[in-house]
Amino acid sequence: MFWDRFYYLCEKSNSKPNPVGEKIGIASGTINKWKNGGVPTGENLLKISNYFNVSIDYLLGLTDNINFNQNKSHQNENTLDRILYLLKEKGIQQKEFDKALNLGDDNISAWKSGKSQSYKKYIYQIASYLNVSVDYLLCLTDELQPVIKKELPQNERTFIETLNVLGVDLNTWSKKKIINLVQHAVQLDSEQNQ
């Protein structure tokens, strides 16, 4: 989903992904990873969002609304402040948060001390876990806009549950990619049987 939207925005601006990446300081190798199904870090999503003036939620396929008005009133706020606020507000303990996102121990302590900004890599997973939009976490809007969690059909849920039981740790994006591959295989199979 991300790549399709990024490519569309590049074409719409009469450009290609690599030249856009060069303009905003993103290496072509990173862009190639996205073409192969990777998802940008929060920092790169923010660069792309600012360049095209679209929301990060749009880039990630969480909304189809391409129009976006950035909130400039929270220039002194930062993503970590919002994450910490939401954890406190929702009564979520650090260990529970770390475990739910498979982050390891003491990530929040490292974030608070400035030793790590790894939360930028996991911005979508954090937004999903806290049930807020990525744009809210990145201080681009004041609206919480919960992440839209599309319900999987039963056969896809069963497949993902089976992988989880087998100990395969999948993030949201790899799950989507696997589901797309399975759907494509089922489609090809049904076409051949007709």
Ordered per-residue pLDDT tens for the chain, 194 residues: 789 999 999 999 999 999 999 999 999 999 999 988 888 887 888 889 889 988 888 888 877 777 665 555 545 568 888 888 899 888 988 888 888 888 776 677 778 777 777 777 778 788 888 888 888 887 777 777 765 545 545 555 555 555 555 555 555 545 566 666 666 666 776 666 66
Q: What is the pLDDT of residue 96?
A: 85
| pLDDT, tens only, 108-127 | 777 877 777 777 777 878 88
Q: How many helices (H) and strands (E) does the chain have?
A: 12, 0
Q: Does this model's pTM top 0.95?
A: no
Q: Locate 83 and state its tokens.
A: 């994450």
CB 132 within 8 A of CB 86: yes
The CATH class, in words, for 2-59 is mainly alpha
Closest CA to 16 of 2, 6, 24, 26: 6
What's the DSSP call for residue 62?
S
pLDDT of the residue at 125: 80
| Contact by Cβ (8 Å): 5, 62 | no
How many CA atoms lie within 13 Å of 99's alpha carbon, on the beta-carbon side?
5
Please report the pLDDT score of residue 23 as a whole number: 94
79-137, what's its fold?
434 Repressor (Amino-terminal Domain) (1.10.260)
pLDDT at 146: 64
Q: What's residue 111's pLDDT?
A: 81
